[in-house]
């Protein structure tokens, strides 16, 4: 079994910020695990500007923001990096089982930071009735298809939810020549940042329907149309307000869920609704030596804020390990 002082799972901005901070606080035996083949996490697909104004005092794209941390990480030989390494098990003794290409590996750590990020809520979680044709995507997946894979998911798009990813993808589809027919939001106002609402929706004259929901998705092989209905403040349908919009693609952008299944399996207490660790302190869990940072601890609006708090996680871990020595 491989033994390390500190293992960090997830090499997005949160994991990298935590690793650098822990190293600068005196921890020299650090392993950074990443399941992808690249460092940077979700920022690699976020090619739009708007990152870094607080942390780096300049406006950067997602890959540019990530590259600042990557360059720093690569310059520190004591921080070992293991790419294409998938953490599949974790226990309260801080033993991690990883799947690497062609083999399993077990690692015993003095402390662990989980920087595993989050995943998108699905159509099933918001109970949209109708058929199950092709053309229904989480907004983040559509972003990856366009920005990483160079594939267009569709040409006529309806977006469910006005979260930041959905707003940004409305603009992205428009710039790629697709027609965004509508953005649908059940609340009275957008869930996203005001700047994204203005720059991605209003500046491109994209229709946005507040206090509306999709009543049904239609289509056999591919999405054909969606039925919309207005809802009141109690989220009840308003009779006679139904109408339809033809489309071939539906994006779901209705929120994010922290990826905390491994810490739950290890016995950490989890909030039943948010899937965040139950904790009275930033980055802490109910298991000694097990820390969580970034979007795995809570969902952040800005990556800058997540980076600052993840630096604090690195400092907390350094204090914990040094006390144990």
Given 252, 268, 288, which residue is the final one in a domain? Answer: 252
Which run of H or E residues covers position 31? strand 30-33
Q: The tokens of 6 are what? A: 């500190």
Residues 106 and 90 in one domain: yes
Residues 138 and 197 in one domain: yes
Give pLDDT, residue 61. Answer: 97
Alpha-carbon distance 157 to 168, whole Å? 13
Q: Which domain holds residue 14?
A: 2-119+256-324
pLDDT at 311 over 80: yes
**pLDDT digit string, tens, across residues 156-203:** 999 999 999 999 999 999 999 999 999 999 999 998 999 999 999 999
Alpha-carbon distance 4 to 45, whole Å? 31
> What residues are paired with 183 via a beta bridge?
159, 208
Residues 263 and 114 in one domain: yes
**Arithmetic mean of pLDDT, 16-27:** 98
**pLDDT digit string, tens, across residues 52-106:** 999 999 999 999 999 999 999 999 999 999 999 999 999 999 999 999 999 999 9
Residue with tokens 């020299």: 28
Residue pair 14/36 in contact by the 8 Å Cβ criterion: no
H runs (alpha helix) in 177-266: 194-196, 261-266
Residues 29 and 72 in one domain: yes
Given 252, 278, 306, which residue is the final one in a domain? Answer: 252
pTM of model > 0.85: yes
Give pLDDT, residue 21. Answer: 98
Residues 213 and 94 in one domain: no
Residues 276 and 241 in one domain: no
Q: The tokens of 231 are what? A: 């809802």
**In CATH, what number is assigned to the domain containing residue 193?**
3.50.50.60
Residues 244 and 273 in one domain: no
């Amino acid at each position: 079994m491989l033994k390390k002082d500190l293992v960090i799972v997830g090499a997005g901005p949160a994991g990298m910020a935590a690793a650098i901070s822990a190293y600068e606080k005196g921890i020299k035996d650090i392993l950074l695990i990443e399941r992808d083949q690249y460092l940077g996490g979700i920022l690699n697909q976020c090619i739009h500007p708007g990152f870094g104004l607080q942390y780096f005092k300049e406006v950067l794209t997602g890959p540019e923001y990530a590259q600042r941390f990557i360059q720093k990480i690569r310059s520190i030989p004591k921080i070992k990096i293991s790419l294409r390494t998938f953490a599949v098990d974790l226990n309260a003794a801080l033993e991690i089982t990883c799947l690497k290409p062609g083999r399993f590996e077990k690692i015993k750590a003095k402390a662990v930071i989980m920087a595993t990020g989050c995943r998108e809520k699905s159509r099933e979680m918001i109970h949209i009735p109708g058929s199950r044709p092709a053309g229904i995507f989480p907004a983040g997946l559509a972003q990856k298809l366009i920005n990483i894979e160079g594939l267009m998911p569709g040409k006529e798009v309806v977006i469910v939810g006005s979260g930041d990813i959905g707003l940004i993808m409305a603009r992205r589809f428009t710039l790629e020549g697709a027609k965004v027919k509508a953005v649908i939001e059940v609340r009275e106002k957008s869930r996203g940042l005001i700047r994204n609402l203005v720059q991605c929706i209003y500046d491109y004259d994209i229709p946005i329907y507040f206090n509306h929901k999709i009543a049904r998705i239609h289509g056999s092989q591919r999405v054909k149309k969606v039925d919309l209905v207005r809802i009141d403040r109690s989220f009840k349908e308003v009779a006679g307000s139904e109408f339809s919009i033809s489309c071939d693609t539906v994006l779901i952008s209705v929120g994010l869920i922290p990826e905390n299944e491994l810490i739950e399996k290890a016995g950490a207490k989890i909030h039943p609704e948010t899937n965040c660790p139950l904790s009275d302190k930033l980055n802490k869990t109910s298991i000694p030596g097990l820390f969580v940072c970034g979007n795995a601890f809570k969902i952040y609006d800005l990556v800058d804020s997540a980076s600052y708090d993840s630096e604090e996680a690195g400092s907390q871990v350094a204090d914990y390990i040094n006390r144990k020595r």
